[in-house]
Amino acid sequence: MSKRPFVTTEKRNRRSKNIDRLPTRDLVRLINSEDRLVAPAVGRESKALAAAVDRIVEQMRQGGRLFYVGAGTSGRLGVLDASECPPTFGTDPRLVQGIIAGGRRALVRSIEGAEDHPEEGAAAMDRKKVSPRDAVVGIAACGLTPYVRGALRRARQIGAATIFITCAPETADSAAAEIVINPVVGPEVVTGSTRMKAGTATKLVLNTLTTAAMIRLGKVYGNLMVDLKATNEKLRDRSIRIVMELTDLSRPAARRLLKKASGKVKPAIVMHFRKVDQIKAMTILDRCNQSLRQAIQEDI
């Protein structure tokens, strides 16, 4: 007998049983009241989240990569989070990667049958040449997705760090993962529509994993994204404002400094405080494991 009817994400929400009969304003209020359950559920997983962040950082410091693996909404959220790391934190696109059942086509069109094959999840790990230095995060709202479970089993066999994200407490302990993150948000407003609360919880979890990991890796100074890649006008303006904020330089002076630093915020700030050229600034940053705080405070 299928386990799905007994999984929280597939159960019927008693509070929304008659949602189709509500006036629009009450309908919207009901959806919002259910959404308010998400953040506290993620907050209750802070211990597991912290453990996962530390494990990911440990792997990355060994030269490893982070892979998200999911199907449907879960897969799309993983790809989204991975794609936002290079512009935000200046990472190589290969450092954080999203893998979705069904491949790139599944990003824009539902290919639901692709999630039913555990061997395809395992094959994806082999195609990506996952190694013991890497971290693999499996994402499955219901916890049962065969593609994700197959990927995690293969990653575990290889010796990679493994993390599992699910919103179903009934399946949380059955996956082949070292760390389980299980925000329990309850049944969805529309039964089984895990793009709603479960999707929101997943987005919050992924935001936390990569943001906290990048902070630990020195890609943030205070709360400023000092490793951003200025690939458009908005980010170029933000780069100038960050340099102004940290150096007290005028806007024209900050712009000139950034130009000397090839548009890179971190070296520009080191150049300012240490009175060195870009090459020397990069050497100092490498010596300090890319920690800007250490680079501008260490004894010359």
3-state SS assignment for residue 271: helix
How many whole angstroms separate alpha carbon 75 and alpha carbon 216? 25
Task: Domains for the chain: give ranges and CATH numbers.
Answer: 4-216 (3.40.50.10490), 233-297 (1.10.8.1080)
pLDDT band at 115 (very low <50, low <70, confident <90, very high): confident
Which residue of the set 10, 34, 115, 188 is catalytic?
115
What local confidence, expressed as pLDDT, does residue 111 receive? Answer: 72
Q: Quick one: pLDDT band at residue 174, thresholds 50, 70, 90?
A: confident
Q: Classify strands 179-181 and 66-70 as parallel, antiparallel or unpaired.
A: unpaired
pLDDT > 90? residue 97: yes
For the cut 70, the answer to whether the pLDDT of residue 212 exceeds it is yes
Give the residue from 90, 96, 92 showing the smallest Cα distance to 265: 90
Q: Are strands 96-100 and 66-70 parallel, antiparallel or unpaired?
A: parallel
**Residue 179 clears pLDDT 50, i.e. is over it:** yes
Per the document, the length of the chain is 300
Q: What is the pTM of this model?
A: 0.91
Output the six-digit token pair for 273: 């405080």
Does the pLDDT value for residue 1 go beyond 50? no
Q: Which residues does 138 contact at the CB level (< 8 Å), separation at least 6?
A: 69, 70, 148, 149, 151, 152, 162, 163, 164, 165, 175, 177
170 part of the active site: no
Q: Is the pLDDT of residue 138 over 60?
A: yes
- The predicted pLDDT at position 18 comes to 94
Active-site residue 115, yes or no?
A: yes
State the sign of the Cα–Cα–Cα–Cα dihedral 204, 210, 211, 212.
positive
Looking at residues 2-6, what average pLDDT do you find?
A: 66
Q: For 25-56, how does the pLDDT look when each residue is reduced to its tens digit (9 = 90+)?
A: 999 999 999 999 999 999 999 999 999 999 99
Among residues of the chain, what percentage have pLDDT more than 90? 87
Q: Taking 90 as the threshold, does the pLDDT of residue 2 lie above it? A: no
